[in-house]
């Protein structure tokens, strides 16, 4: 049953190839169904693999799979990629509870969002292309997750990056979409440089890139700050991919892509890849406390900053995007605290409810003729009952209202942070307040209050038609995700100790949890505090946003403009960079480099056309050439005789 | 007696028969008295691939004479495919045998069977198979009938196989001659083209010269060491110290010259461009692959195994030859207009890379050279297959300008050719990269400057590969006025000078009047960049060359300078510049003589480009398509996944029978 793991990436790959080759001929909607079933097949393979893995004894759950699955870092591989010098990249699958968990929710959520997309993308000019990209994305994501070494992870990492780029600028005829794609790509490239440098560093010290072998030789990285450098470089990559400070600005812009993309790539799966990478290399993290502090601080700061920004956004997708940044900030905070299980727990729960939120938002946008401004929504609970109910569960889950999934996941993280440092705990709790507040604001603005869509907009655009509920193909994923948004918390309840996510992940992550030291009473008080904060914030939002949509005092420009973060980057990096680039383009590139290159080219050409005169076409000259060459060699040789 | 009997049976006079019988008997007894010629014990499995190839050729010659005229080419093609597949199977079996039981020498130590020879046999069989696929379409198109083409090619291939497994200088010479003589005839095979005959004559004269040099070398080496057996030479040199080694060194030099001629190393390369350009295109591909594989196999074996003791003497020379070959091959390829001639120089450049492995004279070097040969074989046969197809009837449409816009007309073919060219340039995810990497790694171990020169030459080489690739993906210039060239009306206006300066200027004037901005793709950036890109394209795409100017209409090509806006002025270089460019890129005057380099100017036997572009897509015969597909598949698949081939070359070297 473990061998089903090979099929997992192959199905989306096959879907990608088939759609790429024949997609245009197949057309809508069959192409969508092919894409969806490829991912569904991957999900089934994942389920079969899961059963196989669960049947192994818990100590034997870390397997390297190539032609067969073997325990630990087996030397076998599908093939050795790039056998150059000391570098032998043995490509295989690393199957353990961590990659299994990721693979499960990646394929599961992807399947639902594929299904949803068939409805959402209906009638789009590039319907089939969309599914080509989506299948390519799922394949790359599975490569990222299942890789047994850093380099193959990086291949997947770049793969999801480029799919993300294609999908953000899917409607590339819009300038904003095109430049948003570029922005995402460039931010990610900065992070990727970190990934590459980290790989170079690790390879130079340990001579390998295979995870388990690196972990086995991790003592080679200790000393002289090497470990801290390696971990921080990897974390730089993670900040790019997972949209953390200082590289978080691309994610809100990425909402230019179609909404299913926002749900799948920019909420549920790809953006959590950075967190996954950090959890994957947790044995290295453990040896660098300094780096852990940096990670925790950045995670906490990102969570807080993004949560505040989310409070003032008008665009429903942008608000949700900042919420994603904030939630991933929580995960990074958990990683920095060493609470890896909690990070994965929140990642899984978040995948469900954030995916659901985006799909719900997509349903609303779809129903309102592509309207994304929340100030022009309101009262939708009557016209879109299915969307309303499912969105409601997701709201409660993300706002961490007990007993929904988010409450348990976030509570787990906060309890761990409490065990580590009070400062970050206070920041986390404050963020939790903002989280519940902005989420409730989104909910109230969208589904309750006056039906503002029926009125003309302040800027003169006409009123919308009466929104319609989405077709079943879009509602079905909402319902399924809604179920998980409510009940996903059950996989890791604090008072249960067997059969939990924590126990399942123990072979990879061990039992490094701070809250193990905390007494049950403490845990209960912490949970109560979480609950009170969440309910209080939701109540506050209810008081403020239930009836009105205009409260300028609560939406300061500072927050609307993302703490002027983009402006700072523009002033500090963008403009000086442009000046430097322009100078280089003219002076260095135009004169020096082009001059050198053209000079060389001219030299080669003129030499070539000079030398070609020797090539007269006359055999006598050719034979003379041979004779002269021979004579020269003979002369050299005979000069060496004894 | 067995000779005498039939003669007697035919009714010739009995006394004659009896006399003859007596004579034979007497001769036998005399021979027995003097000395019995010891015929060596022959292990036929040792030379089985050669036997299959040569036997297949003979059989095909007989069968070809029996079948109807119309069927001959087809029968010959499929016969050749079957025979080369058989040879491939036998070679693979040899490989398996050698890997499990180790190598051995046979036929009185004249031939050797080891991993090295098995790899060469496999490679030659593959090359033969692919050439048969390519040649089929060519022979039909050119209306050349008969099985002789394939027969000669198979004979030639068996010669290369013999060179690969020879363990004796004499046997190497035999192989060399079997290889070459068949190739001389093949070069002349298209008797309708004068170029073909000229190429063959040149090749024959020069080849004979170099063969003579080679035999002289064998004689000198024999004189110095008392043997022509490679293993015994090595043994002799390792146990004896010569008080005077002039004879030996001179012999080695002559051998080196002979090999260097065959592999087309500078300064013994001069036949290559003429012969490659003049020969029928499938023959060129075959020649470039098989002759080089056979010659390099023997070159490597003789110098790395027999003359290993004399390394310090021959390494500097190979060093010099490699440097000259790398630089001259790349440098001269840059100034060619004829694609076949360009590929000829590129194959000279490749020979330089393979020489790096020989120069290293280490196991790693040999394995790198083998790897390179493997990658090269498929790239070069694939490239010449495309050239064959695009040569059209008459095999003459080889001017670089006729490749322009190929991607529009035949996208798949253009893509395949682009991949093959990129592979030759050493692009990632092709075998070309790994091949270059291997030889450079082998040479960097002991000589960094040589590796640097190799990389420089690779950088120069990228230019002429990319130029063809870019040209294929550049639309044909919009020249509505040119009769015969139909350009679809909805074709988007391409970037750059190809719009023709007039149109650009007109557009600019219009814009200046309207006060708006020019409609350009966003990514081209501001005006200055556009001008720079335009200028670059103009240089790269030969927009200023006479061919394109002729296409655009000769009189209108020269636009009055004053009429242009500033941007357009920068686009079209001053006329003196253009003139010089034309001189650099290719001569365009009338042919001065029958000498071949006038052909390099793009005239002579090449078709008029305008005609080529006007006649629509070239027909791609299915078998040629299969050949091109196979070459690209090998190049790309093994490029993504270099492990097996590296291991293959490595094992072949490990099994090198010293």
Beta bridge partners of A90: A80
Nearest Cα to A315, choosing from A383, A241, A368, A353? A368
Measured CA to CA in angstroms, residue A537 lies from A63, A272, A330, A433, A434 at distances of 45, 26, 18, 6, 7
Residue B317 forms contact with A (CB below 8 Å)? yes
Chain A residues whose beta carbon lies within 8 Å of the beta carbon of residue B331: 604, 607-608, 611
Give the per-residue pLDDT at A196: 94
Interface probe for B, chosen from A180, A588, A609, A620 (most Cβ of B below 10 Å), is A609
Nearest Cα to B627, choosing from B142, B130, B26? B130
At A131-165, the pLDDT tens digits run 999 999 999 999 999 998 899 999 999 999 999 99
Query: What would the mean pLDDT of B330-342 be, rounded to a whole number?
Result: 86
End-to-end CA distance of chain B: 44
Mean pLDDT for chain B? 78
Token output for B334: 């840059």
Give the per-residue pLDDT at B25: 67
pLDDT band at B607 (very low <50, low <70, confident <90, very high): low
Share of chain B above pLDDT 90, in %: 46
Give the per-residue pLDDT at A75: 64
Q: Which residue of A has its CA nearest to B205?
A: A619
Share of chain B above pLDDT 70, in %: 73
Distance from CA of A568 to the nearest CA of B (A): 24
Listed by number, the residues of chain B in 230-259 with a beta carbon closer than 8 Å to a beta carbon of chain A are 242-246, 249-250, 252-254, 256-257
Are the beta carbons of A514 and A425 closer than 8 angstroms?
Answer: no
Are the beta carbons of B373 and B296 closer than 8 angstroms?
Answer: yes
At A219-249, the pLDDT tens digits run 888 877 889 999 999 999 999 999 998 888 8
Q: Residue B373 pLDDT > 80, yes or no?
A: yes
Q: Rounded CA gap, B295 and B317, in Å?
A: 18
Q: Rounded CA gap, B360 and B314, in Å?
A: 11
Chain A residues whose beta carbon lies within 8 Å of the beta carbon of residue B643: 79-81, 83
Distance from CA of A627 to the nearest CA of B (A): 9
Chain A residues whose beta carbon lies within 8 Å of the beta carbon of residue B257: 626, 629-630, 633
Mean pLDDT for chain A? 87
Nearest Cα to A364, choosing from A403, A332, A317, A302? A317
Give the per-residue pLDDT at A517: 65
Q: Which residue of B has its CA nearest to A597?
A: B460
Distance from CA of A87 to the nearest CA of B (A): 12
Query: What would the mean pLDDT of A357-361 be, rounded to a whole number?
Result: 92
Distance from CA of B414 to the nearest CA of A (A): 18
Q: Residue B344 pLDDT > 70, yes or no?
A: yes
Answer with the residue of higher pLDDT: A77 or B367: B367
Chain B residues whose beta carbon lies within 8 Å of the beta carbon of residue A608: 331-332, 334-335
Give the per-residue pLDDT at A276: 94
Does the distance separating the beta carbons of B641 and A617 come in below 8 Å?
no
pLDDT band at A605 (very low <50, low <70, confident <90, very high): confident
Q: DSSP label at B142?
A: T
Chain A residues whose beta carbon lies within 8 Å of the beta carbon of residue B206: 619, 622-623, 626
Nearest Cα to A277, choosing from A220, A392, A195, A334? A195
Taken as a whole, chain A contains a residue count of 642
Which runs of consecutive H residues, i.e. helices, occur in B102-193?
115-141, 148-165, 169-187
Of B206, B437, B595, the CB nearest to A616: B595
Measured CA to CA in angstroms, residue B191 lies from A5, B185, B593 at distances of 61, 10, 20
Query: What would the mean pLDDT of A494-516 be, rounded to a whole number?
Result: 73
Distance from CA of A616 to the nearest CA of B (A): 6
Give the per-residue pLDDT at B572: 36
Q: Residue A630 pLDDT > 60, yes or no?
A: yes
At B193-240, the pLDDT tens digits run 888 888 899 999 999 999 999 999 999 999 999 999 999 999 999 998
Q: Residue A71 pLDDT > 80, yes or no?
A: no
Between A and B, how many CB-CB pairs are < 8 A? 121
Chain A residues whose beta carbon lies within 8 Å of the beta carbon of residue B249: 637-638, 640-641
Give the per-residue pLDDT at B18: 63
Chain A residues whose beta carbon lies within 8 Å of the beta carbon of residue B463: 601, 604
At A119-136, the pLDDT tens digits run 998 888 889 999 999 999
Chain A residues whose beta carbon lies within 8 Å of the beta carbon of residue B251: none
Q: Which residue of A has its CA nearest to B255?
A: A630
Chain A residues whose beta carbon lies within 8 Å of the beta carbon of residue B529: 585
Measured CA to CA in angstroms, residue B62 lies from B56, B65, B67, B136, B150 at distances of 10, 5, 9, 19, 12
At B38-54, the pLDDT tens digits run 788 888 888 999 999 99
Give the per-residue pLDDT at A6: 86
- Tell me the ipTM for this assembly: 0.77
Does the distance separating the beta carbons of A616 and B597 come in below 8 Å?
yes
Share of chain A above pLDDT 90, in %: 42
Nearest Cα to A439, choosing from A521, A343, A535? A535
Distance from CA of A107 to the nearest CA of B (A): 27
Give the per-residue pLDDT at A397: 92
Contacts of A404 (CB under 8 A, 6+ apart): A393, A396, A397, A485, A486, A489
Q: Rounded CA gap, A138 and B256, in Å?
A: 57
Residue with tokens 């609950």: A531
Does the distance separating the beta carbons of B441 and A84 come in below 8 Å?
yes
Are the beta carbons of A510 and A279 closer than 8 angstroms?
Answer: no
Chain A residues whose beta carbon lies within 8 Å of the beta carbon of residue B334: 604-605, 608
Does the distance separating the beta carbons of B328 and A621 come in below 8 Å?
no
Are the beta carbons of A470 and A367 closer than 8 angstroms?
Answer: yes
Q: DSSP label at A221?
A: G
Q: Residue A9 pLDDT > 70, yes or no?
A: yes
At B174-197, the pLDDT tens digits run 999 999 999 999 999 887 788 888
Of A590, A630, A642, the CB nearest to B257: A630
Token output for B12: 């010739």
Of A84, A619, A630, the CB nearest to B437: A84
At B437-455, the pLDDT tens digits run 999 999 988 888 999 999 9
Listed by number, the residues of chain B in 118-137 with a beta carbon closer than 8 Å to a beta carbon of chain A are none
Residues A530-547: b if buried by 16+ CB within 10 A, e if exposed: bbebbeebbeebeeebee
Give the per-residue pLDDT at A614: 77
**Global pTM?**
0.66
Chain B residues whose beta carbon lies within 8 Å of the beta carbon of residue A642: 242-245
Of B205, B242, B598, the CB nearest to A619: B205
Token output for B36: 């019995």
Contacts of A140 (CB under 8 A, 6+ apart): A155, A156, A158, A159, A160, A162, A163
Q: Residue B586 pLDDT > 70, yes or no?
A: no
CA dihedral defined by B635, B640, B643, B649, rounded to 10 degrees? 20
Token output for A504: 């399942």
Does the distance separating the beta carbons of A618 and B250 come in below 8 Å?
no
Token output for B561: 């300078």
Q: Which residue of B has its CA nearest to A590?
A: B532
At A280-338, the pLDDT tens digits run 998 898 888 889 999 999 999 999 999 999 998 989 999 999 999 999 999 999 999 88
Listed by number, the residues of chain B in 405-434 with a beta carbon closer than 8 Å to a beta carbon of chain A are none
Chain B residues whose beta carbon lies within 8 Å of the beta carbon of residue A590: 532
Q: Residue B126 pLDDT > 90, yes or no?
A: yes
At B264-289, the pLDDT tens digits run 998 899 899 999 998 999 999 999 99
Give the per-residue pLDDT at B481: 35
Does the distance separating the beta carbons of A617 and B593 come in below 8 Å?
yes
Chain A residues whose beta carbon lies within 8 Å of the beta carbon of residue B209: 623, 626
């Amino acid at each position: 049953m473990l061998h089903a793991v090979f099929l997992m990436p192959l199905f989306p790959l096959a879907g990608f190839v088939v759609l790429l080759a024949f997609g245009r001929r197949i057309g809508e909607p069959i192409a969508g169904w092919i894409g969806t079933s490829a991912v569904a097949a991957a999900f089934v393979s994942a389920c079969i693999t899961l059963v196989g893995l669960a049947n192994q004894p818990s100590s034997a759950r870390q397997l390297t799979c190539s032609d067969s699955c073997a325990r630990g870092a087996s030397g076998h591989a599908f093939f050795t990629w790039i056998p150059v010098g000391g570098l032998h990249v043995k490509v295989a699958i690393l199957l353990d509870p961590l990659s299994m968990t990721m693979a499960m929710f990646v394929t599961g959520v992807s399947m639902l969002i594929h299904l949803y997309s068939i409805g959402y993308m209906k009638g789009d000019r590039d319907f089939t292309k969309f599914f080509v990209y989506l299948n390519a994305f799922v394949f790359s994501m599975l490569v990222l997750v299942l890789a047994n070494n850093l380099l193959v992870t990086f291949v997947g990492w770049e793969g999801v990056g480029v799919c993300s780029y294609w999908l953000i600028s899917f409607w590339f005829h819009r300038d904003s979409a095109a430049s948003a794609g570029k922005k995402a790509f460039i931010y990610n490239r900065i992070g990727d440089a970190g990934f590459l440098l980290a790989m170079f560093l690790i390879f130079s010290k340990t001579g390998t890139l295979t995870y388990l072998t690196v972990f086995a030789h991790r003592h080679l990285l200790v000393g002289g700050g090497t470990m801290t450098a390696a971990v921080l470089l990897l974390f730089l990559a993670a900040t790019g991919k997972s949209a953390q400070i200082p590289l978080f600005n691309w994610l809100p812009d990425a909402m230019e892509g179609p909404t299913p993309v926002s749900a799948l790539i920019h909420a549920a799966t790809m953006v959590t890849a950075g967190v996954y990478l950090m959890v994957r290399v947790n044995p290295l993290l453990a040896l660098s406390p300094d780096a852990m502090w940096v990670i925790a601080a950045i995670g906490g700061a990102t969570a807080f900053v993004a949560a505040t920004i989310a409070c003032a956004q008008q665009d429903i997708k942008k608000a949700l995007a900042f919420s994603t940044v904030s939630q991933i900030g929580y995960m990074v905070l958990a990683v920095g605290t060493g609470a890896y299980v909690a990070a994965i727990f929140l990642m899984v729960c978040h995948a469900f409810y954030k995916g659901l939120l985006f799909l719900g938002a997509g349903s609303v946008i779809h129903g309102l003729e592509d309207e994304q401004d929340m100030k022009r929504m309101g009262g939708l609970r009557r016209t879109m009952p299915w969307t309303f109910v499912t969105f409601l569960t997701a709201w409660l889950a993300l706002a961490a209202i007990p007993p929904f999934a988010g409450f348990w996941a976030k509570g787990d993280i906060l309890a761990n942070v409490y065990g580590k440092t009070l400062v970050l705990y206070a920041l986390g709790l404050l963020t939790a307040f903002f989280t519940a507040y902005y989420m409730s604001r989104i909910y109230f603005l969208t589904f309750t209050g006056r039906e503002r869509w029926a009125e003309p907009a302040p800027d003169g655009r006409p009123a919308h038609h009466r929104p319609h509920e989405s077709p079943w193909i879009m509602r079905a994923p909402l319902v399924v995700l809604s179920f998980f948004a409510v009940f996903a918390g059950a996989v890791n309840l604090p008072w249960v100790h067997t059969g939990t996510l924590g126990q399942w992940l123990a072979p990879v992550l061990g039992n490094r949890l701070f809250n193990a030291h905390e007494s049950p009473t403490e845990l209960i008080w912490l949970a109560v505090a979480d609950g009170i904060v969440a309910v209080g914030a939701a109540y506050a939002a209810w008081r403020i946003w239930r009836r009105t949509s205009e409260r300028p005092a609560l939406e300061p420009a500072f927050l609307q403009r993302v703490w002027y973060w983009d402006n700072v980057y523009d002033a500090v990096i963008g403009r000086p960079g442009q000046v430097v680039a322009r100078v280089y383009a003219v002076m260095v590139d135009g004169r020096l480099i082009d001059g050198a290159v053209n000079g060389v080219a001219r030299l080669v050409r003129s030499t070539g056309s000079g030398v070609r005169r020797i090539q007269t076409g006359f055999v006598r000259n050719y034979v003379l050439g041979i004779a002269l060459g021979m004579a020269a060699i003979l002369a050299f040789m005979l000069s060496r005789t004894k | 007696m067995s000779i005498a009997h039939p003669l007697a049976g035919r009714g010739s006079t009995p006394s004659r028969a009896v006399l003859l019988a007596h004579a034979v008997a007497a001769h036998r007894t005399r021979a027995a008295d003097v000395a019995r010629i010891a015929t060596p014990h022959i292990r036929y499995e040792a030379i089985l691939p050669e036997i299959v190839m040569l036997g297949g050729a003979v059989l095909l010659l007989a069968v070809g004479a029996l079948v109807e005229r119309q069927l001959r080419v087809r029968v010959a093609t499929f016969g050749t495919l079957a025979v080369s597949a058989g040879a491939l199977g036998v070679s693979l079996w040899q490989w398996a045998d050698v890997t499990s039981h180790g190598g051995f020498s046979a036929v009185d130590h004249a031939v050797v069977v080891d991993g090295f020879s098995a790899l060469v046999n496999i490679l030659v069989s593959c090359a033969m198979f692919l050439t048969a696929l390519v040649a089929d379409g060519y022979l039909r198109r050119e209306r050349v009938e008969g099985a002789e083409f394939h027969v000669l090619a198979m004979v030639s291939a068996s010669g290369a196989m013999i060179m690969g497994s020879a363990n004796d200088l004499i046997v190497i010479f035999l192989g060399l001659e079997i290889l070459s003589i068949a190739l001389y005839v093949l070069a002349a095979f298209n008797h309708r083209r004068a170029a073909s005959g000229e190429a063959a004559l040149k090749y024959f004269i020069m080849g004979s010269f170099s063969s003579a040099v080679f035999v002289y070398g064998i004689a000198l080496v024999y004189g110095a060491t008392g043997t022509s057996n490679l293993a015994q030479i090595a043994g002799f040199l390792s146990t004896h110290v010569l008080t005077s080694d002039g004879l030996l060194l001179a012999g080695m030099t002559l051998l080196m010259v002979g090999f260097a001629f065959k592999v087309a190393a500078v300064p013994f390369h001069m036949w290559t461009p003429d012969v490659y350009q003049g020969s029928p295109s499938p023959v060129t591909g075959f020649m470039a692959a098989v002759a080089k594989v056979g010659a390099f196999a023997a070159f490597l074996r003789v110098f790395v195994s027999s003359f290993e003791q004399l390394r310090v003497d021959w390494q500097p020379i190979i060093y010099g030859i490699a440097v000259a070959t790398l630089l001259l091959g790349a440098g001269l390829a840059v100034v060619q207009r004829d694609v076949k001639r360009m590929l000829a120089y590129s194959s000279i450049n490749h020979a330089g890379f393979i020489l790096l492995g020989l120069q290293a004279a280490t196991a790693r070097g040999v394995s790198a050279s083998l790897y390179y040969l493997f990658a090269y074989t498929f790239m070069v046969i694939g490239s010449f297959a495309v050239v064959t197809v695009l040569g059209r009837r008459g095999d003459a449409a080889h001017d670089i300008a006729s490749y322009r816009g190929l991607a529009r007309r035949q996208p798949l073919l253009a893509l395949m050719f682009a991949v093959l060219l990129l592979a030759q340039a050493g692009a990632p995810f092709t075998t070309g990269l790994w091949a270059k990497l291997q030889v450079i790694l082998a040479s960097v171990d002991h000589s960094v400057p040589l590796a640097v020169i190799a990389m420089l030459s690779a950088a120069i080489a990228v230019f002429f590969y990319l130029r063809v690739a870019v040209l294929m993906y550049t639309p044909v210039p919009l020249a509505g006025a040119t009769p015969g060239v139909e350009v679809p009306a909805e074709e988007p206006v391409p970037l750059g000078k190809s719009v023709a300066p007039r149109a650009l200027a007109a557009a600019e004037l219009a814009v200046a009047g309207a006060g708006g901005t020019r409609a350009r793709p966003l990514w081209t950036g501001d005006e200055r960049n556009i001008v720079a890109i335009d200028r670059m394209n103009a240089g790269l795409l030969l927009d200023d060359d006479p061919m394109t100017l002729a296409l655009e209409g000769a009189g209108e090509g020269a636009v009055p300078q004053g009429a242009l806006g500033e941007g357009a002025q920068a686009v079209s270089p001053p006329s003196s510049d253009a003139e010089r460019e034309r001189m650099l890129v290719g001569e365009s005057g009338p042919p001065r003589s029958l000498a071949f380099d006038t052909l390099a100017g793009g005239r002579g036997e090449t078709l008029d480009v305008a005609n080529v572009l006007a006649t629509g897509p070239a027909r791609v015969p299915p078998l040629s398509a299969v050949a091109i597909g196979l070459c690209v598949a090998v190049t790309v698949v093994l490029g993504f996944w270099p492990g097996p081939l590296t291991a293959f070359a490595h094992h072949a070297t490990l099994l090198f029978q010293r």
